[in-house]
A and B are shown apart, each in its own frame.
Chain A
């Protein structure tokens, strides 16, 4: 993978692990170089579903998934770069997994320090086989001015990025084994009046996945790059490879270097200077020896760090035009909403101006769209919602919610108090069965168990199964009507599973039939999956957030309200139970 190729593609990044400071800085850089969208597609981390970041002065949400395999095939196919900010312990396994599951990645950067040497060597081999440019470990990443920033490189504050003169490119490549120094050199280059063609932190480990010599070759074939500034350290023998490339005429561009660590030569047993590899075990690995070798090959070797700036200033021909951009004041909002909000003073619902939404929607389509948090177009889904909303509206004044509403109404309470009193009874024993049944059908059908195994394992009452009156030989007409909505072109996984369960339970007892709750749950799951393309993970989330209860709550609110109004019209006064309705067992 060449630097030129990386410049031409719109980099799409998957971040392994979350490092909010680094991620925010990448988004800031994207915004400053006027990208339409953040380059980070998703974050792989535990415990959250999304993270909020700034996009310019506004905000944007980046999805979080627990593992790479939880991403859709489509997203996995579009990821072109990986930024691994996980701990060193996980670097090998997580990077390897990224290589295996992301078919189109071209670039990977590993941030962690303390990655075992053999793990880096193994990853370097795998990357080479796949044509991936892998950099690190212990690297702050790669900067392609004007195009992309993968890692902390260049800074993590938008002000730093705006002021570093790195929003457009130049002709000087920066390669460094040190993360802090790569940034120092970027500033040295732009401060001298030159621009950066690319900056790469190879990392301070003994076996970096991309070696300094390989980084030099990337610069050699990059037509934007005229010269290279390189920072190396004592330890390792990478510099001899560079000298050999020059001697072999494979590296012809001008190189300005600083090799740190001559101070170590003062000590018999020097302390560990700087990075992991910075311990010279043999004379060849000393800073002096490496400087000597590079000098012999014609490299400009700086004796003091200040010489780098001097050398660079001497190479400035014309004043460089610097792209300017800034990000203004910004503040994290307290709440984010996908449902509605003001746009230029007008209320918008799910992306449409309210009146327009009213014109285009039925009550059912508006309701389902809002509950799902996105516009629904499936006619079948809307018709089913309409049917279910009507079907669940009231099942008589006998049930706990209706009784509560009536008791409150007769106690003289207002509409909202009476309705709330009814709604508060909805839960595990009343009205909650649709959601529970959805969870069961989803788990059962996707878990690879047969309905029989499911029933055996479940034990006890299965939500969505069983009726007081109706039996296998006396079917529930409502269930029959609901089943008109089954029969999806793309399959009925959940209805089949629920019917399978019914077959097992009715063989035990005739009234253990699939009831209205169980049928609604199964049909709705099938519609969402087959008609609307919901993934299992998305369906699981709907169960977790009680979406399937929402339809019941809404519909039955009409029933409760009706009972309230009815009681107020009768105005019978306080309901009090007579002593014969309570048996006192205290005596």
Chain B
């Protein structure tokens, strides 16, 4: 999943460093780490996890005394977060807040700026001027508009390119007699480029739900990191009734859509998929996580849909062997809860895979239905979810 957000700490550090500006801030992951913070009378403590609307959600604590830092971090930690940023609390003189952003696309790199920056930039969208960065760009005009020297703008462009940014937003910044002062800054990177960059790494990546993670999701994350195949799993509604064990980036979304189309979106317990021809062991581990989540759900009627399109190169017999192993482990518990399992899949060695899973489902008393590609994905899914509507 290439586009990901960097932490506020890393974003500010990269931008300030390249511009030769001093940045004071501490990235902490626990109350204990606040001992490394010092030198000021008052601080701002905030969740640094790419969460939108932090102020409204009470995830930014202003004017925190040195002695209260520990408690402040504990307070935010108790809300389910694990990455925090502490900065000196300084009130800025009220001057013009400005906006600067950079993006890239097929045509090249773009620079956007406005002198009506700040939290209301979206209302002031018309004030944003857009420049295409090329040899013909009138830099003087950009310098005048942004109040940033040409050399600094060049450095930012270079930083953007060298570190495979896809989005950079400095909003707001102020220009004072002493120069540029960056008040807030956000960066999104192309995570496919991690191998090629020095400026950031996996530890700087932030996601709002990164700590709401359940053990099963963590296990899948580890699986994904250690395999050439790919796996992902997100819990959407822990007590949902529709569980999905899907394969393929496209088909998995189609199937989730169909659940939504049937009016069962809120019942969708999880989303995830495996692809890239995982081996039997890996599929066993992945399936086990989905089954554990399923057993833990408090919903009354629960259905598991094992689905996918007609695979190009994922071996159906091998991957289904892993699913069957997991059924052997959890089959009894699933049966006790009256769970039914439906399967729809095609691809290399589908005859073997489908026949074996049908036999396994019947053996464990979990059989709902097994379909090959002659039955369309929606048809199979409708049959599976009929009882839930």
Question: Which A residues are within 8 Å of any B CB, using their own CB?
Answer: 21-22, 25, 88-89, 113-118, 121, 124, 140, 152-157, 160, 176-184, 186-188, 191, 204-207, 231, 233-234, 258, 260-263, 266-267, 269, 271-279, 281, 287, 303-306, 309
* Residues 255-269 (chain B) with a chain A CB within 8 angstroms: 256-261, 265-266, 268
CB pair A262–B310 under 8 Å, yes or no, is: no
Between-chain CB contacts (< 8 Å), 26 pairs: A116-B190, A152-B312, A155-B310, A156-B348, A160-B347, A176-B250, A179-B312, A180-B247, A180-B251, A187-B373, A204-B249, A206-B2, A207-B106, A233-B250, A234-B253, A260-B250, A263-B253, A263-B257, A263-B259, A263-B260, A263-B268, A263-B271, A269-B52, A271-B271, A272-B232, A306-B377
B234 within 8 A of A: yes
CB pair B249–A183 under 8 Å, yes or no, is: no
CB pair B257–A180 under 8 Å, yes or no, is: no
User: What residue of chain A has the Cβ atom nearest to residue B272's Cβ?
Assistant: A271
CB pair A183–B312 under 8 Å, yes or no, is: yes
Stretch of B30-38, B148-156, B192-200, B331-339 on the interface side = B192-200
CB pair A306–B250 under 8 Å, yes or no, is: no
Chain B interface residue count: which class? 35 or more
CA A107 to CA B275, docked complex, whole Å: 26
- Given known pairs A117-B192, A263-B259, the reply for A275 and B250 (CB within 8 Å) is yes
- Excluding A113-B276, A160-B347, A269-B209, 19 further A-B contacts by CB distance (< 8 Å) are A25-B313, A114-B192, A116-B190, A117-B166, A117-B192, A117-B193, A121-B104, A152-B313, A160-B310, A179-B312, A180-B250, A180-B310, A204-B249, A263-B260, A272-B234, A278-B249, A279-B1, A305-B254, A305-B257
CB pair A263–B265 under 8 Å, yes or no, is: yes
User: What residue of chain A has the Cβ atom nearest to residue B348's Cβ?
Assistant: A157
CB pair A118–B234 under 8 Å, yes or no, is: no
Q: Which 4 A-B pairs have the closest CB atoms?
A: A178-B250, A180-B248, A184-B309, A271-B234
CA A377 to CA B127, docked complex, whole Å: 81
CA A277 to CA B106, docked complex, whole Å: 14
CA A486 to CA B53, docked complex, whole Å: 85
CB pair B313–A276 under 8 Å, yes or no, is: no
The answer, among A154, A204, A263, for a CB contact under 8 Å with B312, is A154
B residues within 8 A CB of A279? 1, 3
CA A409 to CA B277, docked complex, whole Å: 62
CB distance from A243 to the nearest CB of B (A): 18
* Residues 86-111 (chain B) with a chain A CB within 8 angstroms: 104-106
CB pair A153–B253 under 8 Å, yes or no, is: no
CB pair B258–A305 under 8 Å, yes or no, is: yes
B379 within 8 A of A: yes
CA A21 to CA B277, docked complex, whole Å: 11
A residues within 8 A CB of B313? 21-22, 25, 140, 152, 155-156
CB pair A118–B164 under 8 Å, yes or no, is: yes
B residues within 8 A CB of A152? 312-313
CB distance from A150 to the nearest CB of B (A): 13
The answer, among A88, A179, A207, A263, for a CB contact under 8 Å with B256, is A263
CA A347 to CA B247, docked complex, whole Å: 52
CB distance from B343 to the nearest CB of A (A): 15
CB pair B105–A207 under 8 Å, yes or no, is: yes
B residues within 8 A CB of A233? 250, 253
Residue picked from A113, A178, A263, most chain B C-beta under 10 Å: A263
A residues within 8 A CB of B379? 306
User: What residue of chain B has the Cβ atom nearest to residue A154's Cβ?
Assistant: B312
* Residues 282-319 (chain B) with a chain A CB within 8 angstroms: 308-313
A residues within 8 A CB of B250? 176-181, 184, 204, 231, 233, 260, 274-275
User: What residue of chain A has the Cβ atom nearest to residue B1's Cβ?
Assistant: A272
CB pair A115–B192 under 8 Å, yes or no, is: yes
A residues within 8 A CB of B349? 157
CB distance from A152 to the nearest CB of B (A): 4
B230 within 8 A of A: yes
User: What residue of chain A has the Cβ atom nearest to residue B312's Cβ?
Assistant: A152
- Given known pairs A154-B312, A266-B266, A267-B236, the reply for A275 and B164 (CB within 8 Å) is no
- How many cross-chain pairs have Cβ atoms below 8 Å apart between A and B? 182
B346 within 8 A of A: yes
The answer, among B2, B236, B253, B347, for a CB contact under 8 Å with A205, is B2
CB pair A118–B254 under 8 Å, yes or no, is: no
B241 within 8 A of A: no
A residues within 8 A CB of B161? 118
CB pair B252–A304 under 8 Å, yes or no, is: no
B227 within 8 A of A: no
CA A278 to CA B232, docked complex, whole Å: 14
CB pair A155–B347 under 8 Å, yes or no, is: yes
CB pair A260–B209 under 8 Å, yes or no, is: no
CA A273 to CA B3, docked complex, whole Å: 13
B residues within 8 A CB of A140? 312-313
CA A275 to CA B208, docked complex, whole Å: 20
B residues within 8 A CB of A231? 250
B376 within 8 A of A: yes
CB distance from B359 to the nearest CB of A (A): 21
B374 within 8 A of A: yes
A residues within 8 A CB of B1? 272, 276, 279
CA A183 to CA B161, docked complex, whole Å: 36
CB pair B311–A180 under 8 Å, yes or no, is: yes
CB distance from A200 to the nearest CB of B (A): 13
Residue picked from B1, B164, B230, B257, most chain A C-beta under 10 Å: B257
Residue picked from B52, B256, B310, most chain A C-beta under 10 Å: B310
CB pair B346–A187 under 8 Å, yes or no, is: yes
A residues within 8 A CB of B256? 263, 273
CB distance from A214 to the nearest CB of B (A): 11
* Residues 198-228 (chain B) with a chain A CB within 8 angstroms: 208-209
- Given known pairs A117-B104, A263-B268, A266-B265, the reply for A306 and B376 (CB within 8 Å) is yes
Residue picked from B190, B236, B259, B373, most chain A C-beta under 10 Å: B190
CB pair B310–A184 under 8 Å, yes or no, is: yes
A residues within 8 A CB of B257? 260-263, 287, 305
Interface flags, B100-134, vs A, CB<8A=1, else 0: 00001110000000000000000000000000000
CB distance from A192 to the nearest CB of B (A): 11
CA A55 to CA B216, docked complex, whole Å: 45
CA A154 to CA B254, docked complex, whole Å: 19
The answer, among B106, B260, B265, for a CB contact under 8 Å with A124, is B106
B273 within 8 A of A: yes
CA A121 to CA B193, docked complex, whole Å: 13
User: What residue of chain B has the Cβ atom nearest to residue A91's Cβ?
Assistant: B192
The answer, among A187, A271, A276, for a CB contact under 8 Å with B2, is A276
CB distance from B269 to the nearest CB of A (A): 12
CB distance from B301 to the nearest CB of A (A): 20
CB pair B378–A180 under 8 Å, yes or no, is: no
User: What residue of chain A has the Cβ atom nearest to residue B310's Cβ?
Assistant: A183
A residues within 8 A CB of B271? 263, 271, 273
A residues within 8 A CB of B249? 178-180, 204, 274-275, 278
CB pair B208–A89 under 8 Å, yes or no, is: no
CB pair A180–B2 under 8 Å, yes or no, is: no
CB distance from A329 to the nearest CB of B (A): 16
CA A332 to CA B308, docked complex, whole Å: 31
Residue picked from B104, B195, B249, B311, most chain A C-beta under 10 Å: B249
B residues within 8 A CB of A114? 2, 192
CA A54 to CA B262, docked complex, whole Å: 46
CA A183 to CA B373, docked complex, whole Å: 11
CB pair B311–A183 under 8 Å, yes or no, is: yes
CA A279 to CA B2, docked complex, whole Å: 10
CB distance from A18 to the nearest CB of B (A): 14
CB distance from B214 to the nearest CB of A (A): 13
B residues within 8 A CB of A183? 309-312, 347
CB pair A88–B192 under 8 Å, yes or no, is: yes
- Given known pairs A178-B248, A260-B250, the reply for A304 and B193 (CB within 8 Å) is no
CA A408 to CA B54, docked complex, whole Å: 92
CB pair B106–A184 under 8 Å, yes or no, is: no
CB distance from B7 to the nearest CB of A (A): 17
CA A115 to CA B196, docked complex, whole Å: 11
CB distance from B103 to the nearest CB of A (A): 11
